[in-house]
């Protein structure tokens, strides 16, 4: 049997995976193939790790038995029907994403982004910077989304002393359950953090951004397409927002002509939110664990229904 590792891993993760595959299963790594061999190898696979192009599943391999996504999100496959069990990475990326976005927001309030630029220019301007610094713990925060990332963000913000509410349509952990409730709450909100999945395309609109007070900070660590980026740029330029912390953008890599690169009140963390030193080995480990569950006919971890979007 063949396990096609479509996700590009590093040597350490490849070795980890290969050494732990059950007997009788051969790993074929995308990194060992030429691009014109990817599709043919997929068509021969019994097990797949990674996120191949959606159109490959129009005629899925007859022998395919289990598919492990290497991401938590799967908006590119939403509405698709899979003939085999599918699992995602669950909350694997939740804490690193939360730490990135909360760390970025904290850096913004404490002026770290400005002070770093001054350091590069060897300019000592600390006394001038002090009056503009703010405390994260004094903010009134709303977290868009009550999933694993949103829950971690809320936990961390509360650790700093923030008052935090989450939004979700039905999740009982959220305090806000409709767009109307959210719009009503935004004028009193000084920090809004977006953790929404890609299915919530353009959820954050000009109306929302303009409803926030001028001292508010907007942050996003979910998916770039959930924010109307042009509306965000317009709000930042007009001084309707104090700033933004963005781990994700509508187009990635962010085009070199995007105004976001040069805005002094924007921090870009370049979609590093889910990263950590053992990230790729962790992905391989989760695949091996679920593969063992599958072969033993045990329940899989983090199974999803692509057709339902969750």
Contacts (Cβ under 8 Å, ≥6 apart) of 291: 3, 21, 22, 25, 47, 66, 68
- The reply to whether omega before 210 is within 30° of 0 (cis) is no
Q: Please give the structure tokens belonging to residue 280.
A: 């790729």
> Chain centroid to CA 10: how far?
21
Phi, psi angles (nearest 5°) of residue 29: -95, 135
Helices and strands in the chain, H and E counts? 10, 11
- Among all residues, which ones are annotated catalytic? 223, 271
> Chain centroid to CA 211: how far?
25
- CA dist 217 and 235 (Å) reads 11
CA angle 292, 298, 302 (to 5 degrees): 80
User: 């038995």: which residue's tokens?
Assistant: 65
CB 29 within 8 A of CB 9: yes
> Chain centroid to CA 129: how far?
32
76-103 burial, b for 16+ CB within 10 Å, e for fewer? Answer: ebbeeeeebbbbbbeebbbbbbbbbbbb
Sheet strand arrangement including 47-49? 26-29, 2-5, 47-49, 66-68, 86-87
Q: Please give the structure tokens belonging to residue 226.
A: 């959930």
4's enclosing H/E stretch is strand 2-5
First to last CA, the chain: 29
């Amino acid at each position: 049997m063949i396990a096609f590792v479509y996700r590009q891993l590093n040597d350490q993760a490849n070795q980890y995976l290969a050494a732990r595959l059950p007997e009788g299963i051969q790993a074929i790594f995308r990194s060992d193939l030429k691009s014109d061999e990817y599709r043919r190898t997929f068509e021969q696979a019994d097990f797949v790790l990674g996120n191949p192009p959606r159109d490959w599943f129009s005629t899925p391999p007859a022998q395919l038995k289990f598919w492990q996504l290497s991401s938590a999100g799967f908006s590119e496959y939403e509405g698709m029907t899979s003939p085999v069990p599918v699992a995602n990475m669950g909350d694997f990326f939740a804490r690193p994403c939360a730490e990135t976005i909360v760390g970025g927001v904290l850096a913004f309030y404490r002026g770290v982004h400005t002070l770093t630029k001054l350091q590069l220019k060897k300019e000592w301007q600390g006394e001038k910077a002090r009056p503009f610094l703010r405390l994260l713990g004094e903010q009134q925060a709303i977290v868009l989304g009550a999933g694993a990332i949103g829950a971690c963000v809320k936990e961390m913000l509360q650790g700093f002393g923030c008052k935090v509410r989450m939004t979700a349509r039905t999740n009982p952990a959220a305090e806000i359950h409709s767009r109307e409730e959210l719009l009503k709450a935004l004028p009193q909100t000084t920090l809004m953090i977006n953790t929404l999945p890609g299915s919530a395309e353009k959820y954050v609109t000009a109306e929302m951004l303009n409803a926030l007070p001028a001292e508010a900070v907007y942050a996003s660590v979910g998916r770039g397409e959930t924010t109307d980026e042009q509306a965000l740029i317009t709000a930042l330029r007009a001084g309707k927002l104090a700033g933004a912390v963005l781990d994700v953008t509508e187009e990635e890599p962010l085009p070199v002509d995007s105004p976001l690169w040069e805005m002094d009140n924007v921090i870009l963390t370049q979609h590093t939110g889910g990263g950590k030193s053992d990230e790729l080995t962790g992905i391989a480990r989760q695949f091996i664990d679920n593969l063992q569950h599958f072969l033993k006919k045990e329940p899989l971890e983090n199974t999803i229904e692509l057709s339902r979007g969750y």
